[in-house]
Amino acid sequence: MVVEVSSRSSAPTELNLFENRRVQMVASATGLAYVSASPEATRVVRDSVPDGSVQHTVEATLPLVAAAHNCGYAVWDYPALAADLCMASISVWIRGRPVGGVSLVYFRDLVPADLLNVLLLPEMRMVALLIGGALNDNWF
């Protein structure tokens, strides 16, 4: 995965939390969103989880992938990095297949579920569509 992070220069929070970290696809919001959009989701989970690099079992991970598939986005908590830190992610599609994701890092206590679901996720979906459209010129 390639991680691109941006923030206002005046933001009080440093965003270098995710760069230079290797994360299993099924152990992140972006990975779950990507895997949930793939027809190979079950195989990816079965290949990724048993190596012990994530704390969930295959049986616990498959419902997370199914939930992300059903609602069109994934959310993952990162309590080791900061209390109430979460990431919401939506897949970017090109020609009917996922190629990446758009993610938003936020603090759960500052972004209520209604704000996420009614405003932010729809905007993220539009951005994902625009990115997919811009990259749909035979790059992939």
pLDDT digits (tens, 9 = 90+) for 29-66: 888 998 998 888 888 888 877 665 566 778 888 899 99
Q: Is residue 104 part of a domain?
A: yes
Tokens of residue 95, six digits:
């020609």
Tokens of residue 29, six digits:
């919001």
Q: Is residue 11 part of a domain?
A: no
Give the pLDDT of residue 41: 86
Nearest to 102 by CA among 80, 123, 81: 123
Q: How many domains does the chain have?
A: 1
Q: Is residue 101 part of a domain?
A: yes
- Measured distance CA(21)–CA(118) in Å, rounded: 31
Q: Is residue 118 part of a domain?
A: yes
Q: Is residue 13 part of a domain?
A: no
Give the pLDDT of residue 46: 82
Q: Is residue 14 part of a domain?
A: no
> Under 8 Å CB-to-CB from 35, ≥6 apart: which residues?
25, 26, 41, 44, 45, 65, 68
Q: Which domain holds residue 110?
A: 25-135
CATH number reported for the structural domain that contains residue 120 in this entry:
3.30.450.40
Q: Is residue 1 part of a domain?
A: no
Give the pLDDT of residue 132: 92
pLDDT grade for 78, boundaries at 50, 70 and 90: confident
Average pLDDT value for residue range 81-94: 90
Average pLDDT value for residue range 123-132: 94
DSSP for the chain, written as a single string:
--------TT-SS--TTSTT----GGGSHHHHHHHHTSTTHHHHHHHHGGGTTSSS-HHHHHHHHHHHHHHT-EEEE-TTTSTTEEEEEEEEEETTEEEEEEEEEEETTTS-HHHIIIIIHHHHHHHHHHHHHHHTTT--
- The answer on pLDDT for 2 being more than 50 is no
Q: Is residue 16 part of a domain?
A: no
pTM: 0.78
